[in-house]
Amino acid sequence: MEQQFPLLPRHLAIIMDGNGRWAQARGLARVDGHRAGAEAVRTVVTECRRLGIPHLTLYAFSSENWNRPKAEVAALFGLLLDFLGVEVPRMEREDIRLMVLGDVDGLPLAQRTALRHGMSRTAHCRSMTLNLALNYGGRAEIVRAARRMAEAGIAPDGYTEERFADFLYTEGQPDPDLLVRTSGEQRLSNYLLYQCAYSEFYFTPVAWPDFGVEALHEALRVYAGRSRRFGKTQEQIDGR
Ligand code: FPP
């Protein structure tokens, strides 16, 4: 496995796009696409855990997704509840910690309760962290962090980039090394704006429901072949 992926991301972030188009292309309802998408979530979490990727973040529901038809929003939250019911006990067994990035208080009661339960049940888990971005928006996260920092009474000269990161939802976690977006779109859509400053981006035409172990491996192979310089020259990095 080490040979297959000489370099694994410490943090993989995914924008799971294309459930609706996947369903429409098969003459199915959009909800069927989301159901298939939830299966892809299980596959990808399992494989990331197996490979030893310590942080995985999935964009499951953006703050803009409330604008979708009511029935679709309800179906998405239903799938989330089903997912948590099955997966939280498994996550506990597999030592996977559940975290939520986003405004949990703005979620429906049943989902809020299940998420809080899942987070407390897995709070001790250390092998991997699964972040579900739910009711999440990147700009709102930055504004919230600034507000929380001011509320903490930090003086202006204490506003450093590192300190600021401690007030984001991802506090204590490394920035994403690799950001994957499925289904052909090539944009960030208000996702992890602060954290993705130096992330490698990988876009694939594969729709999220079809994003299985093979597609994940391909993304990881491409990532392993990238040269990350963080603004330095290759000579500086090589110590020449
Ligand atoms: C984008 O597809 C996907 C979403 C808005 C939601 C993602 C949700 C899931 C994968 C299922 C439930 C999640 C969990 C964690 C159980 P889209 O509908 O925007 O696709 P389209 O662009 O083709 O219309």
- Using one digit for the tens of pLDDT, what is the confidence trace for 73-100? 999 999 999 999 999 999 999 999 999 9
State the chain's mean pLDDT as an integer. Answer: 96
pLDDT at 189: 97
pLDDT at 166: 98
Distance CA 186, CA 204 (A): 9
Paired sense of beta strands 178-181 and 11-15, if any: parallel
What average pLDDT does range 64-71 have in this prediction? 97
Asked if residue 5 has pLDDT above 80, the reply is yes
pLDDT at 3: 58
Cβ–ligand 1 distance for 14 under 6 Å, the answer no
Question: What homologous superfamily does CATH list for 11-136+179-188+196-225?
Answer: Decaprenyl diphosphate synthase-like (3.40.1180.10)
Q: Residue 239 — pLDDT band, cuts 50, 70, 90? A: confident
CA atoms within 13 A on the CB side of 78: 10
Residues 6 or more apart from 160 whose CB is under 8 A from it? none
Asked if residue 39 has pLDDT above 50, the reply is yes
Asked if residue 2 has pLDDT above 50, the reply is no
Q: Is 17 a catalytic residue?
A: yes
Q: Any idea where the domains of the chain sit in the sequence?
A: 11-136+179-188+196-225
Q: Is 131 a catalytic residue?
A: no
Asked if residue 44 has pLDDT above 60, the reply is yes
- Give the tens place of pLDDT for each residue, 12-27: 999 999 999 999 999 9
Name the residue with the closest Cα to ligand 1, atom 8: 60
The best mutation among 19, 96, 135 to test binding of ligand 1, ranked by most ligand atoms within 8 Å of the C-beta, falls on: 19
Q: Residue 194 — pLDDT band, cuts 50, 70, 90? A: very high
Distance CA 44, CA 13 (A): 11
What average pLDDT does range 189-194 have in this prediction? 98
Q: Which atom of ligand 1 is nearest to the CA of 83?
A: 16
Q: Which atom of ligand 1 is nearest to the CA of 207?
A: 23
Report how far apart, in Å, the C-alpha atoms of 204 and of each of 47, 117, 183, 215 are: 18, 34, 6, 9
pTM metric for this prediction: 0.95
